[in-house]
Amino acid sequence: MENNDNLQSVYLEQLNSYVIPKIDFEKLGKSYKTDFLYAKEILQAMTSVFKDIYGTDRLYCDDEIEFVDVPAVIRSRGSGNIIIGLVNLDLQSSGEHWGTDFVTENGIVSSETDRSYINSKIGFYDYWYAIPIYGDIHVDMENIPREIAEILDINDEQTFEQKM
């Protein structure tokens, strides 16, 4: 695998060039409140670009990759609202979470720069990524809530690992 910093930069560049500009944020906001189909399309596009750039459909903690941004489904602990985004993880620290970029009806909102928006609209949250990460001790991918599993297209007979 080539230099991780380069892969991460290329991935974010590809998202910013080909996925993000095509998002209809108004339609996304409606999708979050209804059937989630449009949000799933965007999540699938983000995941597809990830697989193309990294050349894999899974990651391992303690591998050669240190920091990585992965597509994820995010649920507010307070409101229960669900949105998609990117979580930044340190794989050398068993998946330690470093930040999140939320794909909201108002555009991309970063936990690093827009803390007041995050605190008022989302608050504390949990996340489940769309790329399997083996060895992550922070996310229980074997006990995914049903609504999250549906967004990730995992049915009752499949575990996340079997799906991927």
Picking from 136, 127, 131, 64, the residue whose alpha carbon sits closest to that of residue 101 is 127
Residues 118 and 39: beta-carbon distance below 8 Å: no
Domain span at residue 60 reads 4-152
- Domain contains 123: yes
In a domain, 10, yes or no: yes
Low-confidence residues of the chain, pLDDT below 70?
1-5, 63, 96, 154-164
Per-residue pLDDT, 3: 54
Global pTM exceeds 0.75: yes
**Identity at 91, one-letter amino acid code:** L
In a domain, 159, yes or no: no
Total structural domains in the chain? 1
Q: What confidence tens digit (pLDDT) does each residue in 8-48 have?
A: 999 999 999 999 999 999 999 999 999 999 999 999 999 99
